[in-house]
Structure 1
């Protein structure tokens, strides 16, 4: 699968990594590998998406409570488990729904 990847002889590979460690220690370098960088970026992206969903859920909850009063358990549960797409659909539905139940009807 990784046939295209250039491979160093084992002795040179070992020498290479030893030299990298020496440089890092001497220069006090904090090195992040490409794989670590990708993981960090994915984690940040997922965290931002989760934060966006939580924020949308809180806002929609406040709007629903303002319009329909205290939310019953089933509605609060729906909000807590909702996807971003569901929250967006419900945020539009709140503008025209006559009842709380009407907001959640697809």
Structure 2
């Protein structure tokens, strides 16, 4: 009864992942250029496609297509793939995108490299502090062992030095009630 109202849709699936760069480069159409831009891995790839688009869309009647590609690249492609967290200048034409990429790519690479170095240093400092705290806790535990039990066997020293923070915390809490090194460390 309601089947007459059910939409009857047909569609054509375009799977951009099924085409390789060679196939896309050989066909000269806007869809292949769009797929190449989507699949690009470097700014050099983007610039090569841009040069072809500029050549293909040079007629005055194609101004709206140039503008559409420019807006899509500024709002979608570059922020998502190539220039995350980078403020892009207003761009109105493919020539401007091409020029901007040529000028800014080196700057972005340096900024990303510096950002990576800063993040790496911060991560290294954090890990270093944690390792230092853990090593200090192990040394304190060894001192407590010596004070309570006298000489600490080599196997116990090794076990303490290899223990993680949670295990060290547990032993520090239990050392006051332990009867021997063996009973505490197992």
1:16 shift after superposition: 2.1
Residues 10, 45 of structure 1: alpha-carbon distance in 2 compared, 3 angstrom cutoff: farther
1:98 shift after superposition: 1.0
Residues 67, 37 of structure 1: alpha-carbon distance in 2 compared, 3 angstrom cutoff: same
What do the CA deviations read for 1:36-84 (whole angstroms, capped 9, x no partner)?
2211111111000000010000000000011001111110110110101
Q: Which residue of 1 aligns with 2:149?
A: 68
Q: Which residue of 1 aligns with 2:19?
A: none
Aligned to 1:96, what secondary structure does the other structure show? coil
Unmatched tracts of structure 1, length 5 or more: 21-31
Mapped partners of 2:98, 2:174: distance in 1: 63
Please identify runs of 4+ aligned residues in structure 1 that moved more than 6 A: none
Give the TM-score, by structure 1 length. Answer: 0.73
**How large is the Cα RMSD of the aligned pairs?**
2.8
Aligned length: 94
Residues 91, 14 of structure 1: alpha-carbon distance in 2 compared, 3 angstrom cutoff: same
Give the TM-score, by structure 2 length. Answer: 0.44
Q: Which protein shows a greater Rg?
A: 2
Asked whether 1:15 is paired with 2:103, we answer yes
Q: Which residue of 2 aligns with 1:80?
A: 161
Q: Which has the higher contact order (CA 8 A, sep 6+)?
A: 1
Q: Which residue of 1 aligns with 2:184?
A: 103
Unmatched tracts of structure 2, length 5 or more: 1-76, 84-96, 108-112
Aligned to 2:152, what secondary structure does the other structure show? coil
